[in-house]
Amino acid sequence: MNILILGYGKMGKIISEIAEARGHHIAAKINIENVSDLERLDASSIDVAIEFSQPEAAWENIMWALKRKIPVVSGTTGWLERKAEVEAACQALDGTFFYASNYSVGVNIFFRVNKFLSKLMKDQYSYEISLEEIHHTEKKDAPSGTVITLAEGILENVERLEGWELKSDAATGAGMLPITSKRIDPAPGTHIVKYESKIDDIEIRHTAHSRKGFAQGAVLVAEWIKDKKGIYSMDDFLSL
């Protein structure tokens, strides 16, 4: 399979290594320094594009691929206000788009555990709910896409919460789910869901030990999506 890497930072490099180890060919590695090379590529020779770039570049990268009938596997966060626009374009172009805030199999199981726990706790008003995420200092967006997905899973079930809010020195607003974001090297990613009461606490946590789990998941998805059409997520891939 010929893979185009859109975003050749730390994640892009690991994705490239894993893809090549699995017998795939990297058609090109695009970053901000050589983005003009896209116009010289033979799009018909590319089977899948894996996009892990920067929030400001993600939309253009994805649209470039969709317009050329290249299936896109995207993991960039911080641009999702335009996700609906991409999905509409994908449908209009009869294209293929796969998005996940996190490609780790373990994290996606954690998402399901989080939703299940929130259903159990939705009427337990004595518990205060909060989220915390820790990433490396090079991660630009805060809160992370993964912790936002966790927040959305809780908000689906806990009606007393109206939305989420990034916690600062100021008190979190009433009815809002507080998120604490920390940037500490070399942490690849820790996510914690807390239910705290005066009697006891309940906590679930996922800790990544490296980026390899994210990268391997993206390559496995690229293999899976190659000949499909439509809009997909990790729930589809994992049959959750």
Residues forming the active site: 135, 139
**Ramachandran sector of residue 122 (left: φ over 0; alpha: ψ -120 to 50; beta: rest):** alpha
Contact of 200 with 164, CB cutoff 8 Å: no
C-alpha–C-alpha distance, residues 166 and 176, integer Å: 9
Backbone angles phi, psi at 195, to 5 degrees: -120, 110
| Residue closest to 5 by CA, chosen among 52, 45, 44 | 52
Going from the C-alpha of 18 to that of each of 43, 74, 80, 101, the distances in angstroms are: 22, 16, 27, 19
